[in-house]
Copies of this chain bind each other. A is one copy, B any other.
Amino acid sequence: MVRSHKDGPLPRVVIVGAGFGGLNAARALRRAPARVVVIDRRNHHLFQPLLYQVATAALNPSDIASPIRRILRGQENVEVILAEATAVDVAARAVVLADGSVPYDYLIVATGATHSYFGHDDWARFAPGLKTIEDALDIRRRVLFAFEAAEREPDPDRRRAWLTFVIVGAGPTGVEMAGALREIARHALARDFRHIDPTQARVILLEGAPRVLPVYVESLSEQARRQLADLGVEVRTGQMVTAIDAEGVGIGPERIAARTVIWAAGVAASPLARSLGVPLDRAGRVQVEPDLTIPGHGEVAVIGDLAGLSQDGHPVPGVAPAAIQEARHAARNVVRMIQGQPRLPFRYRDKGSLATIGRAAAVADLGRVQLSGGIAWLAWLFIHILFLIGFRNRILVLIQWAWSYVTYDRGARLITGPLPKIEGAGPGTG
């Protein structure tokens, strides 16, 4: 299937998705003898690892998102299209859009993952996940509004339900959300209300596995659990959620009355994968060849969270560093194919894992070294600032973090969008 373009017009490389994978693939092709087309249904690249900071009112959307056009504007051989790719026509070598199609010579699919409710899609209404800016603003609205509703609720049981926050899933996102929620309650909101004490807010972190951060080494899970407990997060491991509705969460026969539930558990690959016509794993990921291409189509590579790949018996994790390594490898293979050379297999190099828990609290697994507490937090801060796309963002985010750190304040505490309905809440006064 590999064609040589040495004498014809420049081959066209289409990249679908401008997350860590897609964007790095485009950049890696900057000197390639090819026209590159990047398609995304958003106009911005999103720095997802910091999305929980938007959900918890510490950062603004534009601090962690940057227009794809701006990021790539200096790269002459790239064109950006704002459009939703609905399918890939592998036989015709074209990406199908909602309103047209884009042909390709080489394709890199990097559309990532969304959250999965393990077959309980009705839970989505009550327990939003955290993948997009809109998700983050939705969660921010729910969290801030819960305190407002509690302030006006005269019934103590109902008030307690407004002040109870359940997070389902204790991976990095769940751990970060839980820590940040307790910090908001303890510091940012502490003096703002007259009828409630925000510091009494309960944050319950539920995990089905026997420990938090289950993919990390056990000692770090234990460190994280202790740091969460210090913040006042109630960690409950080995707990399978069986019901979620507007009033709370069910765990078998037990019920937790909570008006705010956040989903940080399941991940499902983007539905675009199905149209490739190749085997998917249980989470919907494309089972790629060792060179990241799909069986029978060397011109189509799948990278990032959408790619299902195992190495030495372990799955390559769905994290940004893996997506970036895969992106660069896929780009290199495209250039090799254009030059008539064979593709090379991909090899993932694990550089370690990091999760932050709160103010000066974090855990880091750097392979030989495990860190926790303040040092891990500084490492986390440094690496995240470093990888934030766009110089302006880095400076501004650093200033906002410094400000929040010193003052315990959260600048982006805005409830925007339609106000949620309080069912049965009485007036605040009178």
Contact = CB atoms under 8 A, between A and B. Distances in A.
Interface of A: 37, 41-44, 60-63, 65, 67, 69-70, 73-74, 79-84, 94, 97, 99-103, 133-134, 137, 144-145, 148, 151-152, 189, 191-194, 392-393, 395-396, 399-400, 403, 407, 409, 411-417, 419, 422, 425-430
A396 B400 contact: yes
10 contacts: A67-B413, A70-B409, A73-B192, A79-B194, A79-B429, A81-B428, A82-B148, A101-B430, A134-B416, A392-B411
Nearest to A46: B414
A81 B416 contact: no
Copies in the complex: 2
Residue of A145, A411, A415 most packed against chain B (CB within 10 A): A411
A360 to B, nearest CB: 21
A325 to B, nearest CB: 28
A19 to B, nearest CB: 15
A67 to B, nearest CB: 5
Contact of A83 (B65, B144, B400, B428): B428
Nearest to A68: B192
Given A148-B82, A396-B400, A70 B419 contact: no
A79 B419 CA distance: 20
B400 A102 contact: no
Contact of A133 (B70, B148, B414, B427): B414
B133 A102 contact: no
A84 B419 contact: yes
A396 B99 CA distance: 41
Contacts of A392: 403, 407, 409, 411
A137 to B, nearest CB: 8
A57 B413 CA distance: 19
Contact of A430 (B102, B193, B419): B102
Contacts of A399: 395-396, 399
B192 A69 contact: yes
B192 A67 contact: yes
Nearest to A35: B429
A102 to B, nearest CB: 5
A426 B98 CA distance: 10
Contacts of A70: 192, 409, 413
A427 B69 CA distance: 17
A426 B100 CA distance: 6
Contacts of A411: 62, 392-393, 396
Contacts of A60: 60-63, 412
A427 B67 contact: no
A422 B100 CA distance: 12
B144 A43 contact: yes
A64 to B, nearest CB: 10
A414 B44 contact: yes
A129 to B, nearest CB: 17
Given A62-B412, A62-B414, 8 more contacts: A43-B145, A65-B414, A79-B194, A99-B422, A99-B426, A100-B428, A133-B416, A392-B409
